[in-house]
Amino acid sequence: MEYEFTLKFKLTADVINMDEVVERLGEQGCTDALVGLGQPGYIGLDFVREAEDATSALLSAIDDVKQALPSSALVEVGPDFVGLTDVAEVVGMSRQNIRKLMLGHHQRFPAPIHSGNPSVWHLAQVLEFFQERQYAFPMKVFEVARTAMQINIAKEQALLDKRLGAVLEHRLHA
């Protein structure tokens, strides 16, 4: 099955020849990715990867990039962090309808991970809300979003101080 997702990596200062970066990615098997070089010091890869499941697709792509660019650091896996417009596109509704549903079901709609302008949600959590209400969208998107969210959370959790993590775990889940 084919899975579509995005990986963003931060490159180290010694990586300056972007043609070489693209060549190394190709040699490592990332020929199923469109490479974006827009922001200096970063690389974005839009993958369409064949795999048994979403987790295998994402993890194999991360492994391939890390083999090609060992000093790079994973910044973000997507789709994960989304606004209402992104959700509307996935679900096939207007942004206004999504907002109406959010306001009408504020007790059950997932809390944003960033509340502001714009507010940002984990796509998997919002899709779960829509799935419970029998809205149709591609399950592959949900599988990729759920895996992307898990990878992003694990990546950030690695930064957490162990003692503070234990205290927070107790307080947040008590």
161: its two tokens = 């101080």
The predicted structure's pLDDT at residue 164: 76
Which positions ≥6 away from 144 have C-beta within 8 Å? Answer: 3, 4, 5, 54, 57, 58, 79
**pLDDT tens, 66-94?**
999 999 999 999 999 999 999 999 999 99
Q: Name the residue type at position 76.
A: E
The predicted structure's pLDDT at residue 37: 82
- Secondary structure of residue 47 in the 3-state scheme: strand
Residue 3 has pLDDT above 90, yes or no: yes
Between 103 and 165, residue with greater pLDDT: 103
Q: Which residue has the tokens 């060549």?
A: 23
The answer as to whether 48 is a domain residue is: yes
Work out the pLDDT band at 159, boundaries 50, 70, 90.
confident
Rounded Cα distance between 164 and 85, Å, is: 35
- Here the CATH number for the domain that contains residue 36 is 3.30.70.1130
The predicted structure's pLDDT at residue 162: 72
Between 172 and 92, residue with greater pLDDT: 92
The predicted structure's pLDDT at residue 18: 85
- DSSP H helices, the chain, are 18-27, 54-68, 84-91, 95-104, 123-132, 139-157, 162-172
Number of domains in the chain: 1
Rounded Cα distance between 7 and 78, Å, is: 6
- Find, among 76, 60, 8, the residue nearest to 37 by Cα: 8
The answer as to whether 143 is a domain residue is: no
DSSP code for 73: E
The answer as to whether 26 is a domain residue is: yes
**pLDDT tens, 16-34?**
688 888 999 999 999 999 9
The predicted structure's pLDDT at residue 15: 73
What is the Cα 154 distance to its own chain's centre? Answer: 12
The predicted structure's pLDDT at residue 112: 95
The answer as to whether 6 is a domain residue is: yes
Residue 28 belongs to domain spanning: 2-78
